[in-house]
Amino acid sequence: MSNEILEVKAISGHRGGTPGRGVSRAYDVCKLVDTTTCIGCKACEVACLEWNGYDFRETTFDNTYQTMPETAWNFWNLIKFNEYSTDDGVQWLMRKDQCMHCEEPGCLEACPADGAIVQYTNGIVDFNQDNCIGCQYCVTGCPFNIPKFNAETKKVYKCTLCSDRVGAGLEPACIKACPTGCLHFGSKDDMQIEAEKRVVQLKANTSWKNAGVYDPEGVGGTHVIYVLGDARDPEKYGGLPANPTVPIFVRLWKGPLKWLGGVGMVLGVLGVFMHRVRYGAKRVEGEEHRS
Amino acid sequence: MTNGWIDIKNTDMMLIMGGNPAECHPCGFKWVVEARKVRNAKLIVVDPRFQRTASQADLFCQIRSGTDIAFLGGLIYYAIQNNRYNKEYLTNWTNAAFIVKKGFKLPEDGLFSGFDPAAMKYDVSTWNYEEGGNVTGTAAAAIAAGDGPGAAAALAVSVAAKNGAPAAPSLPPDAAYDLSLEHPRSVFQLLKRQYSRYTPEMVSSITGIPANELTKAWDLFTSVRKDGDMKKAATIIYAVGWTQHSFGTQIIRTAAMAQLLMGNVGRAGGGVNALRGHSNIQGATDLAGVFDILPGYLKVPLPTDNDYTTYVTRITPKPSKPKEWDSYNYWSNTPKFAVSFFKAMYGDNAKKENDWGFQYLPKIDRNYSWVNQWNDMYNGKVKGLLTFGMNGVMIGPDSQKNIDALKKADWLVVGEIYPDETSAFWQSPGITDDEKRQIQTEVYRLPCAGFAEKDGTFVNSARWLQWKWVAVPPPGEARVDQEILARIFLKVRELYQKEGGKFPDAILAASWAYTNQNNPSLVEVAKEINGKALADIKDEKQTPSEWKAGQQLPGFGWLRDDGTTSCGNWLYCGSWPDSGSNSQRRNTDDPSGLGIYPTWGWSWPANRRVMYNRASCDLNGKPWDPSRRQIWWNEATGKWAGNDVPDFKADSPPKDHMGPFIMNPEGVGRLFVPLAALADGPFPEHYEPIESPVANQLHPQQSTSPVVKKFTTPLDKYGDPKDFPYICTTYRLTEQYHYWTKNNPVNMQLVPEPFVEIPEELATQLQIKGGDRVKVSSIRSSYYCKAMVTKRIRKMSIAGKETFQVGIPIHWGYKGLPDGRPEEQRTPANLLSPTVIDPNAYTPEFKGFLVKIEKV
């Protein structure tokens, strides 16, 4: 789903220069989700389905208002509902879950396929299924459990932050559908300012005395940021990790241990060569019939 | 709504109760969010469940379904006790100072004065004002004379009974009043006494809300009127969580009284705001959606209205007020609205000589409300039914009774866009093949057009008429409603022409002046509803001062009672003037910043956005809050001016003391509702739902409303808490829209299966886990679904007894997706609800009936 209108900043599994770099310039985009004004109406879920052309997916009752337990390869935007007991009653926390578009994307770091995952200069991390080899390393690399594998197509899918819409100067579909204005879209700077302002208001005028902005440093910050009513415990917002990081083995593998892959590759090629020398070419049965 | 959706952004305080707008009106809820973000407005949510609206609240109280009057009565008393009202507003803009007739008795034993137990009805002659001018300063003497409420009630009844049928009592033209509000029979003192019984402890024991939470909520809500300061405004927002009770009208009354007491009515960010559950429910109501009103809330004639004069005299009120005050009494224009309506109905066949065709109108000899019609069908009185845009079986109450009623009908016509439960009543769960064979009802299913396939107006909750255009043509053989209805009407008329019949005149005299008789254009219908001049008419006081015959009229101020104007609904006069459709306007200018948008669409009446807005000013015509100026008196021009259209006589100077509530004969807001305006009392009193787990703690001997009648067919059974211990309420979900969207895969994906919400503590007791299959039963029938075990409904203590509530979303039935679902998963929720109705609005009690729950 890469988009030629956007400028590519980094690209997975590719040696040398970054193709597409310098094509277009855009500011860092950012989605701001103010969980304190989310009413869990699921308009964003439906808008996401419709814009991306996904249809009915069977669901089953699961003792919750939440549509399904987690996002799916064809369901990228899910509101997580959590009933949370407090001293004087209950909170019903709702958080729109989707790809966070990390500044340091673990999926991209983990991906070995040339051009399967790209990060645009505006911050959008996008999957290009044409180049995806279905290895699912990106699934391992993501601290937010976002990329989802489709067993039929053998490809991995996730939220594109509507790179196609954004590239054409539009806001993402979820933003457009949100009826309460809980979802905002703009430059990262603007969204950070907006979020901080809201946090100040929440602390001063509401019972959300521990409100805060979620823009985790462990992944270099994200291009989807949250205002959380209670920032002390992001986990209670449908399992939002408190300190997300790219898994250590992904970092090692693509960093200091990358030479091991190279060695493995050389050994592999050597093995094939030795096999040929030892046993000769493989005969395919059909070929004999035809010949 | 007295105000409107956008106006919610102007508020400082919101009480959302009996409604769940975050779920059922998610788009409108943006204004709640706006008020909180921009004005730091506070939000109080009171509901049987912690729902999505509650998730946004500053304060949430879990209330037992059907005890709203207790909560609000307590709030009223708290406001009085803590000086949370403004005396200027209260004394001048409400009837607080009016003196109530001697002999009026408060319902301290559960009954107001004048109750006739045999007829289950009140004689309302003591529910009136006393005659006789200013009695200010006489309070002490009156108290000394023991002149309080509670005495001599029996007198009025016996007099009325002896004299047979006395003339209906009327309001005194010169009402007695005490501006000090101290007279023991002043409305204010009666109000205070009435709700002094609603102490935090009593209300807590009735509602299940802990007493400290109650006072917290009351304190927060009334804090906008601290020491009577009028700067701030509070709004009350509700929906069918209030209307669907056997005392629903009185719940809304209590809210209106609280708002009047606190001076919140007529003001930006204030009001009593009903959220309508469909895009055009307001329009349906305005255009005679209820059997006893004609378009524009004119009353339907009674059999005793022998002629037009008797009728119009009965329905036209006369002013009743303190002598020194003025009252516009806008309903005094009733004859103009009525004659113009007759002209729209019968055209040239409505003449002065034939009483404007008055005799063509049907008279109501009995109650034709929704529930009564199904009851009559069940009893074999109603033989056929035409239904459009609704799903009668599902709507209920007591779906099984409705299904069985349809089995007895001769015919049924359903106009729908999907095959629905009503047209498939003969496939309802549990029916045997044998039974099916015995059903003789002829069913016609007509494919209709969906909302995007037809034009016309929607009238939203804010009373805005907004035109919509056709997006796509209806598919296949589907037809728009007006074509179906027109063809049926023309055929019926033809039969009357050919065969005569009992009373053909009413049909033959009807005007049908549409270009396409078989399919009237809704533009023509909208113009007909707006009204036009039938002759050249002049009025020097208005600009322009003349309209020629045939021209569309610009407002109801032009309507006449001499047959020179026609108008289908006076409230809509001005929606389509000669200059073109106002409902099609889409101008987004909002010069005042108050969200008035005066040139977007058009709102009735007269495009004013906040009703009773004269009350937004003090006695001298100055806005209570200069930062939210709606209207004001302009001394220089001698007229009212404003950002909104003044809801007032344009040139009535403040010194004349005309009341802002121009639709009341008193000119002021009614804390006390006199005479027969309401069947169950001039003040709201807490009564228990027909099925209740406890006796009424205020008066156990009179637990339920004394004027609410039970129905008597064999299917009308009412449950006992011994067998059905849990309170059940019903509602909608964001993800679904009534019974339509279960035909749409995406909606079904969002919430795939029917469920019942059960409190964790109850689930533990019943050993039910989330996802278990359960059977919820009332005495009437059973509903099958899965259990949703939740922390969001908590155990309550009612009258010291552990009590549980459960809740059922209404959306599933025996039609719709997915196909192949087993029959026991296709039960309509309204199989459970009882046939019992509010005595004023006739709305069924869908909230707060009794059930039991079993694992299956």
Q: What is the per-residue pLDDT for B158? A: 41
Instruction: Tell me the C-alpha distance between B36 and B41, whole Å.
Output: 4
Q: Among all residues of chain B, which has the CA nearest to that of A62?
A: B771
Which stretch of A167-171, B24-28, B636-640 has the lowest confidence by average pLDDT?
A167-171
**Per-chain mean pLDDT for chain B:** 95
- Spell out which residues of chain B touch residue A91, defining contact as CB-CB under 8 Å: 55
Instruction: Tell me the C-alpha distance between B839 and B853, whole Å.
Output: 30
For residue B817, name the pLDDT band (cuts at 50, 70, 90). confident
Instruction: Tell me the C-alpha distance between B43 and B705, whole Å.
Output: 31
pLDDT of A31 higher than 70 = yes
- Spell out which residues of chain A touch residue B37, defining contact as CB-CB under 8 Å: 37, 181, 198, 201
Question: Do A65 and B751 lie within an 8 Å CB cutoff?
Answer: yes
Question: Do B52 and A41 lie within an 8 Å CB cutoff?
Answer: yes
The answer to whether residue B483 neighbours chain A at the CB level (below 8 Å) is no
How far does B750 lie from chain A, in Å, by closest CA? 5
Question: Do A37 and B787 lie within an 8 Å CB cutoff?
Answer: no
How far does A14 lie from chain B, in Å, by closest CA? 39
Q: Among all residues of chain A, which has the CA nearest to that of B41?
A: A205
Cβ A123 vs Cβ A29: under 8 Å: yes
Cβ B254 vs Cβ B844: under 8 Å: no
Q: What is the DSSP letter of B648?
A: S
Question: Do A45 and B750 lie within an 8 Å CB cutoff?
Answer: yes
Q: What is the per-residue pLDDT for A259? A: 67
For residue B818, name the pLDDT band (cuts at 50, 70, 90). confident
Q: What is the per-residue pLDDT for B446? A: 96
- Spell out which residues of chain B touch residue A201, defining contact as CB-CB under 8 Å: 37, 40
The answer to whether residue B57 neighbours chain A at the CB level (below 8 Å) is no
Q: Among all residues of chain A, which has the CA nearest to that of B20?
A: A39
The torsion of the CA quartet B492, B494, B500, B506, rounded to 10 degrees, works out to: 60
The answer to whether residue B212 neighbours chain A at the CB level (below 8 Å) is no
Q: How many CA atoms lie within 13 A of B124 on its CB side?
A: 21
Contacts of B28 (CB under 8 A, 6+ apart): B5, B8, B21, B275, B461
- Spell out which residues of chain A touch residue B212, defining contact as CB-CB under 8 Å: none
Question: Do B749 and A94 lie within an 8 Å CB cutoff?
Answer: no
> Can you read off the two tokens belonging to residue B520?
């009237």
Instruction: Tell me the C-alpha distance between B77 and B84, whole Å.
Output: 10
The alpha carbon dihedral of B613, B617, B619, B622 has a sign of: negative
Q: What is the per-residue pLDDT for A23? A: 46
For residue B145, name the pLDDT band (cuts at 50, 70, 90). confident
pTM given for the model:
0.94
Contacts of B738 (CB under 8 A, 6+ apart): B391, B394, B732, B810, B811
Instruction: Tell me the C-alpha distance between A243 and A214, whole Å.
Output: 10
Exposed / middle / buried, residue B479 (Cβ in 10 Å: 0-12, 13-18, 19+)? buried
Measure CB to CB from residue B55 to each of A60, A92, A198 and give the nearest one: A92
The torsion of the CA quartet A30, A34, A37, A40, rounded to 10 degrees, works out to: 80
Q: What is the per-residue pLDDT for A171? A: 92
Q: Among all residues of chain A, which has the CA nearest to that of B771?
A: A63
How far does B788 lie from chain A, in Å, by closest CA? 5
**Per-chain mean pLDDT for chain A:** 88
How far does A4 lie from chain B, in Å, by closest CA? 31
Q: What is the per-residue pLDDT for A283? A: 64
Question: Do A179 and B27 lie within an 8 Å CB cutoff?
Answer: yes
Cβ B746 vs Cβ A46: under 8 Å: yes
Cβ B401 vs Cβ B411: under 8 Å: no
Coil, helix or strand for B172?
A: coil
pLDDT of B164 higher than 70 = no
Q: What is the per-residue pLDDT for A82? A: 97
Question: Do A61 and B752 lie within an 8 Å CB cutoff?
Answer: yes
How far does B216 lie from chain A, in Å, by closest CA? 13
- Spell out which residues of chain B touch residue A72, defining contact as CB-CB under 8 Å: none
Instruction: Tell me the C-alpha distance between A86 and A88, whole Å.
Output: 6
Instruction: Tell me the C-alpha distance between B104 and B125, whole Å.
Output: 9
Cβ B501 vs Cβ B514: under 8 Å: no
**Percent of chain A topping pLDDT 70:** 86
C-alpha radius of gyration, chain B, whole number = 27
- Spell out which residues of chain B touch residue A46, defining contact as CB-CB under 8 Å: 746, 750
Question: Do A89 and B751 lie within an 8 Å CB cutoff?
Answer: no
Question: Do B790 and A83 lie within an 8 Å CB cutoff?
Answer: yes
Coil, helix or strand for A92?
A: strand
Instruction: Tell me the C-alpha distance between B632 and B77, whole Å.
Output: 32
Instruction: Tell me the C-alpha distance between B446 and B449, whole Å.
Output: 10
The alpha carbon dihedral of B236, B241, B242, B243 has a sign of: positive
For residue A6, name the pLDDT band (cuts at 50, 70, 90). low
How many inter-chain contacts (A to B, CB under 8 Å) are there?
106
Question: Do B30 and A179 lie within an 8 Å CB cutoff?
Answer: yes
The answer to whether residue B510 neighbours chain A at the CB level (below 8 Å) is no
Number of other CB atoms surrounding residue A161 within 10 Å: 28
For residue B470, name the pLDDT band (cuts at 50, 70, 90). very high
Q: How many CA atoms lie within 13 A of A253 on its CB side?
A: 19
> Can you read off the two tokens belonging to residue B344?
């729209």
Measure CB to CB from residue A89 to each of B33, B60, B733 and give the nearest one: B60
The alpha carbon dihedral of B117, B121, B123, B127 has a sign of: positive
| Mean pLDDT to the nearest integer, A46-56 | 92
Q: What b/e readout covers A217-245, taking b as 16+ CB neighbours within 10 angstroms?
A: ebbebbbbbbbbbbbeebebbbebbeebb
Cβ A129 vs Cβ A155: under 8 Å: yes
Mutation for testing the A interface, residue in B20, B733, B749, B751 having most A CBs under 10 Å: B749
How far does A282 lie from chain B, in Å, by closest CA? 51
How far does A70 lie from chain B, in Å, by closest CA? 13
Instruction: Tell me the C-alpha distance between B849 and B89, whole Å.
Output: 39
Question: Do A42 and B735 lie within an 8 Å CB cutoff?
Answer: yes
Angle (CA) B10 B12 B17, round 5°: 100
Instruction: Tell me the C-alpha distance between B603 and B4, whole Å.
Output: 10
For the stretch B515-527, pLDDT in tens is 999 999 999 999 9
Phi, psi of A213 (to 5 degrees): -100, 135
Amino acid symbol at B852: K
Cβ B393 vs Cβ B428: under 8 Å: yes
Can you name the residues that pair with B728 across neighbouring β-strands? B806, B849
The answer to whether residue B34 neighbours chain A at the CB level (below 8 Å) is yes
Can you name the residues that pair with A95 across neighbouring β-strands? A80
How far does B238 lie from chain A, in Å, by closest CA? 18
- Spell out which residues of chain B touch residue A93, defining contact as CB-CB under 8 Å: 55
> Taking Cα atoms as reference points, which of B724, B829, B700, B795 lies closest to residue B64?
B795
Number of other CB atoms surrounding residue B624 within 10 Å: 24
Angle (CA) B552 B557 B561, round 5°: 85
Q: Among all residues of chain A, which has the CA nearest to that of B795?
A: A89
Measure CB to CB from residue A92 to each of B755, B770, B792 and give the nearest one: B792
pLDDT of A26 higher than 60 = no
Coil, helix or strand for B42?
A: strand
For the stretch B579-621, pLDDT in tens is 999 999 999 999 999 999 999 999 999 999 999 999 999 999 9
- Please report the ipTM that was assigned to this predicted complex: 0.93
The answer to whether residue B703 neighbours chain A at the CB level (below 8 Å) is no
| Mean pLDDT to the nearest integer, B653-672 | 97
Measure CB to CB from residue A39 to each of B56, B787, B794 and give the nearest one: B56
B356 alpha carbon, distance to own chain's centre: 30
Coil, helix or strand for A264?
A: helix
How far does A206 lie from chain B, in Å, by closest CA? 7
Number of other CB atoms surrounding residue A266 within 10 Å: 10
Q: What is the per-residue pLDDT for B215? A: 98
How far does A152 lie from chain B, in Å, by closest CA? 21
Instruction: Tell me the C-alpha distance between B229 and B828, whole Å.
Output: 50
Exposed / middle / buried, residue B612 (Cβ in 10 Å: 0-12, 13-18, 19+)? buried
Measure CB to CB from residue A42 to each of B58, B750, B786 and give the nearest one: B750
Q: What is the per-residue pLDDT for A290? A: 45
Number of other CB atoms surrounding residue B545 within 10 Å: 10
pLDDT of A2 higher than 60 = no
Instruction: Tell me the C-alpha distance between A43 and A12, whole Å.
Output: 33
Q: Among all residues of chain A, which has the CA nearest to that of B40?
A: A205
For residue A21, name the pLDDT band (cuts at 50, 70, 90). low
The answer to whether residue B367 neighbours chain A at the CB level (below 8 Å) is no
- Spell out which residues of chain B touch residue A45, defining contact as CB-CB under 8 Å: 750
Measure CB to CB from residue A61 to each of B37, B753, B790 and give the nearest one: B753
Question: Do B791 and A85 lie within an 8 Å CB cutoff?
Answer: yes
pLDDT of A123 higher than 60 = yes
Measure CB to CB from residue A83 to each of B56, B746, B792 and give the nearest one: B792
pLDDT of B108 higher than 90 = yes
Q: What is the DSSP letter of B646?
A: P
Question: Do B22 and A61 lie within an 8 Å CB cutoff?
Answer: no
| Mean pLDDT to the nearest integer, B331-351 | 98
Instruction: Tell me the C-alpha distance between B620 and B627, whole Å.
Output: 17
Cβ B148 vs Cβ B139: under 8 Å: no
Instruction: Tell me the C-alpha distance between B447 and B419, whole Å.
Output: 9
How far does B126 lie from chain A, in Å, by closest CA? 47
Cβ A96 vs Cβ A122: under 8 Å: no
pLDDT of A1 higher than 60 = no
For the stretch B40-70, pLDDT in tens is 999 999 999 999 999 999 999 999 999 999 9
| Mean pLDDT to the nearest integer, B644-663 | 97
Question: Do B771 and A41 lie within an 8 Å CB cutoff?
Answer: no
For residue B178, name the pLDDT band (cuts at 50, 70, 90). very high
